[in-house]
Amino acid sequence: MMRKEPDKELDELAYKVIGAAMEVHRTLGPGFLESVYEEALCVELKRREISFEKQAEISIQYKGHAVGKGRLDLLIDKKLVVELKTVESFAPIHQAQVISYLKATGLELGLLINFKVPLLKNGIKRVILSS
């Protein structure tokens, strides 16, 4: 599988979202429910004038047929999938979930952010859809 790096604009958007997430984590610390971090991150994204859609509904397709719906925690500027977690550590299923969302949306980059860590930089994973 070829792994294509996202363009500079998408990378900069991801960097801005990571900065917003770091501010939320710095302010709240670890230990709250995922929904608290989602709300706080939405506040921070608004403050930074970053366009987003919360709990964005996506259609799941199977061989050209709509077979269900999924929900993204955050869809940033219609270009970046953000999946939030509050778990002890990432499991392979978490990355698989983001890859499935990327396939379903046709987008190429996702961020998996785990707020249940002492240092947020250790709870961020970039997920790139391979072609």
pLDDT digits (tens, 9 = 90+) for 51-64: 999 999 999 999 99
Q: What is the pLDDT of residue 121?
A: 95
- Cβ atoms 14, 80 nearer than 8 A: yes
What is the residue type of 108?
A: E
**Does residue 65 have a pLDDT over 80?**
yes
Domain range for 25 is 16-128
Measured N-to-C along each axis, helices 34-47 and 8-28 cross at an angle, to the nearest 10 degrees, of 120
Which H/E stretch holds residue 13?
helix 8-28
Q: What is the pLDDT of residue 131?
A: 65
Residue 5 domain-assigned? no
Residue 9 domain-assigned? no
Task: Tell me the pLDDT band of 29, cut-offs 50, 70 and 90.
Answer: very high
Assign residue 55 the CATH number of its domain.
3.90.320.10
Computed over every residue of the chain, the mean pLDDT equals: 95
Concatenated DSSP letters of 20-44: HHHHHHHHH-S-S-HHHHHHHHHHH
